[in-house]
Amino acid sequence: MARNVVLFCLDSARKDVFDEAVSRLSARADVSFEQCRAASSWSAPSHASMFTGRLPSQHGVHVHDRSFAKIDRSETVLGDLPDHEALGISANVFVSSAYGFDDWFDEFVEVSTGKRFTGGIDPNEFYVECEVSGVRRHAGFLRAALAHDHPLQSLANGTLATLNVLTRDAPIPKLLDDGANTIVRESKRLTDAAEEPFFLFTNLEDTHMPHRPVWAYERDYDAPADWSSDDSEIWDVVEDIDGHEEYLRRFRELYAASTSYVDRKLDALVEHIQYESDHETTFIVTGDHGENLGSEADEHLLGHKSSLSEGVLHVPFLLINPPAGYEQRETDYFSHLDLATLIPALARGETPDVFRDRIPAEIVGMSPGPEPPDRHEYWDRAIRCAYDGETRWVWDSLGNRERIEIDHDRPCWQTVAEEDVSIPEWATALFDGPIDQYKAEAEKAADAVDVDAATEQRLEDLGYV
């Protein structure tokens, strides 16, 4: 009998923090791929790589063209799951209908901080697009909510969104999370109604910046109730790491607290699906990429812009209830590029050899978001890297070349061993064509995706605008 497969993607989840903060899912897991690496460093190219098994320079989804529409469902892992109902839920604006990601799925649900009940109106979207203001705007929303097919959900969305805004600057933790509760509820609804077997994909944005105390967090943190990582500009922090020690400590603590919170929510969802499903279900838990946290090993960077550090690429990868065949701890390299092979095999009850001695990763340019004050060409460079043993070879479109040493027993750690090195031929052979040539071609053929005002607002809330 075919298995259900569920892919939980925690946005920006790096392995060392995940290992320390996640207890419930780790206890449930039967297998951990200890040396899993993301294929890219931000959401759009990373998700395209996970679903196609191709690098950004091969599938074409990157900062110069963020649309998934160019990729047909038959070219993704879903094309190899013809008997599975494809269900998707995402709180990530880059992994949404705005960029054509939803076209791959039979049913797709978008979650935002304004749309807690997905059947109703999104008040944030309504207010952004509304041409009147003040009382007239509120009255307009009330009329639209009452006339909607789901008036109670629409009114609930409006009430919760208003509560969120009114308490935004109050000296209390955020009352509502960044979508995890909604994703869990919608996952239960979709899987309970699905004709099995099904494939369920979820992207959880709670672990992504900005970070702020949330009422439901259980993990200890030092930050005041009204503190936010948006209180300081990321590039100001990067330029003065030593002067932001307190900021970095709070950032790291809340990042870990958000990871622990998502662990608790997903643990309950796993139990529900296992109990309700008539089919065996295998769960995959990973991150689309990791996060720099300002340490020396992170090259004193914060976030995941313009970086292929170990903090950004080394991500968790757990299997819960897989078919028999893997060791409890697999220690060879596994790339997200091989998810396209692994998922259909798991659905068939198989455990293929998806491990490699050498793996690549790549970014094509500076991801969206606040730009650095200077050196734009440097931060917008394309970067490639290749792993072999405990060595990473890293090179970029500006001609920089490094040999970096890592330690498989120290997740997310690295140190630069040598600069201005010669990159081995086997490493460049993992990619199609020279890096500077592809970067120039991608810039020349850049194709911007037009998004509506509500999507622009969501991007701004996440710090991308």
CA torsion sign for 248, 419, 316, 462 is positive
Q: Could you count the other beta carbons within 10 Å of the beta carbon of residue 365?
A: 20
Confidence band, pLDDT 50/70/90 cuts, at residue 459: low
Element (H, E) at 47: helix 43-52
Confidence band, pLDDT 50/70/90 cuts, at residue 148: very high
Q: Which residues, at least 6 apart from 194, have a Cβ–Cβ distance to it below 8 Å?
A: 85, 87
Q: Could you count the other beta carbons within 10 Å of the beta carbon of residue 101?
A: 28
| Burial of residue 5 (number of CB atoms within 10 Å: 0-12, 13-18, 19+) | buried
Give residue-wise pLDDT tens across range 69-104.
999 999 999 999 999 999 999 999 999 999 999 999
The confidence score (pLDDT) of residue 462 equals 57
pTM of the model: 0.95
Give residue-wise pLDDT tens across range 131-145.
777 788 888 888 988
CB-based burial, 332-346: b 16+ in 10 Å, e otherwise: ebbbbbbbbebbbbb
In 3-state terms, what secondary structure has residue 199? strand
Give residue-wise pLDDT tens across range 308-331.
999 999 999 999 999 999 999 999
H helical segments located in 413-461: 425-428, 435-444, 453-461
Retrieve residue 279's tokens: 């089919």
CATH code that applies to domain 4-113+176-360: 3.40.720.10
Confidence band, pLDDT 50/70/90 cuts, at residue 461: low
Confidence band, pLDDT 50/70/90 cuts, at residue 454: low
Q: % helix / strand / coil in the chain, to the nearest 5?
A: 40, 20, 40
The confidence score (pLDDT) of residue 167 equals 80
Question: Cis link prior to 197 (omega < 30° from 0)?
Answer: yes
107 forms beta bridges with: 87
Q: Return the domain boundaries, the chain.
A: 4-113+176-360, 123-170
Amino acid type, 349: G
| Burial of residue 106 (number of CB atoms within 10 Å: 0-12, 13-18, 19+) | middle
Assess contact for 182 and 154: CB atoms under 8 A. Answer: no
- Which strands form 317-320's sheet, in the order they lie side by side? 107-110, 85-90, 198-204, 4-10, 281-287, 317-320, 31-37, 329-335
Retrieve residue 356's tokens: 């490699």
**Out of 41-45, 395-399, 459-463, least confident range:** 459-463
363 forms beta bridges with: 383
β-bridge pairing 4-10 and 317-320: unpaired
What is the residue-averaged pLDDT of the chain?
Answer: 94
Confidence band, pLDDT 50/70/90 cuts, at residue 157: confident
**Out of 125-129, 157-161, 422-426, least confident range:** 125-129
The confidence score (pLDDT) of residue 92 equals 95
Q: What is the largest CA-CA distance in the chain?
A: 66
In 3-state terms, what secondary structure has residue 16? helix
Phi-psi group of 53: left, alpha or beta (phi > 0 → left; psi -120 to 50 → alpha; rest → beta): left
The confidence score (pLDDT) of residue 135 equals 80
Average pLDDT for 219-242: 94
Q: Which residue has the tokens 């040999």?
A: 403
| Nearest-angstrom CA–CA distance, 150 and 117 | 10
In 3-state terms, what secondary structure has residue 377? helix
The confidence score (pLDDT) of residue 293 equals 98
